Structure formats: C-alpha cells, structure tokens
Structure 1
Amino acid sequence: MRQANEETVIDINYNDLSLEQLKEINKKSAAAIADFENRQKKEAIQKATEIAKAAGFASLEDMLAAQPAKQKAEPKYRHPENSELTWSGRGRKPGWIAEALESGKSLDDFAI
C-alpha cells in the first residue's frame, strides 16, 4: 500500500486484504477524519474570533453573548376557562385549540 498526499487517490482492492488490515485501515481512517474535522473547527473558530475582534468585541464569546434573545411571540388566543392557557398561533396547535376546532368552533372564538 502506498501513502498519498491530499491530491492523490489511492486505489486499493479491499477484497485482497485480511480482516486485520481492513480494521487497521478503518481505525486510521476514523482517526484521520476526526483530526481533519478538528482542524476545520479550529480554523472556523479562529476566523470567527477575528471577525468578532474586527467588529469591536473583545472575544467571540462576548459577541455571542451580545446576541439579542429570541423574542417570544405574543399570544393571540386564550382558553375561555383557563386564562393561563394561551397560544401565539405559531407552531403546533395546543390540544385545547385542536379539540375546539374539531367541535365546530373557530379560532376567532379564542382571539384575545
């Protein structure tokens, strides 16, 4: 088996190899993949850190902490008997809305 640089493709007839050889290839490939992914992550973090500093942040962590929190959608619908049960109209319908719609009511019946 010959070694290859990043541009060379190795053509191996895997059917000619023993189980031990195949396991060794598998082990070395998994290690090489993990090493490659770690290098990519480090490079990405380094680039993101440089961008954060160029934008005036002391660190990448400071930039990430400065992100505005997701705003919770205001409720548009309220349960008629339990005012604590509300729904914004986004996402999956709560059970009480689904049941009411099946029984013939409309969303307008629950509008706030």
Structure 2
Amino acid sequence: MAKSDINLNNLSVPELNQLIEDAKAALDGKKQGAKAQLIEEMREKAAKLGLELGDLLDKPGPRTNVRKPRSDAGKAVAAKYRGPEGETWTGRGRMPRWLTEALHHGKAKEDFAV
C-alpha cells in the first residue's frame, strides 16, 4: 500500500491507533527478517573463511574505567572529635549540630579533638 492510498484525515482516532499498531507490527517483522538474512549471509561468508560467526565478533575486554571500592569501605572509623556531652564525630560527612553550634559560639574545632 502506497502512502498516497491512505487519507489520514478521513480516519477516526481508533482507526489511526489501529493503523499505527499494524505499522509497528509490520516494521518489527521486516526488521526480524532483515536481521535473520544478514546473520545467514555473515555465517556463509565466515564459513568460506573457515571461521565461526562468533570468532568474528570482538569479545569485550575487562572494564578498566570502573572504580574500585575503597579498601576501608564499611569499616568503622575512629572518632576524631568528642562533644561536651560525650557525642562523637569521625570528621566525615556532615558536621554534627553540637559542633556547628560550638563553632558559631566562638569555639575552635581543635578544642573538641580526641
């Protein structure tokens, strides 16, 4: 069916939806057929060279851009600061409220060092 055979302006919404679904199904079928044909052609060419199709494809190497986990990940960290009421902070992450308030009142962070 040629493009000019269908007047889209005369179709209702359900008819247009059905047309779209039918076109998608036809496209998927054509793609699968073309893919199968291409694979068969490549198999034949590889066989002429005495190779398997899998031999022609590059095998993925090790991924080198992946970050390695930290060696101390998940381990407990010793506290570096102790608050006036026994609270502790390792120095990592967000500064605790007790230390923020103490710094605001003129204390130094080193005053709380363990």
Normalised to the residue count of structure 2, the TM-score between the two structures is 0.47
Larger Rg: 2
Normalised to the residue count of structure 1, the TM-score between the two structures is 0.48
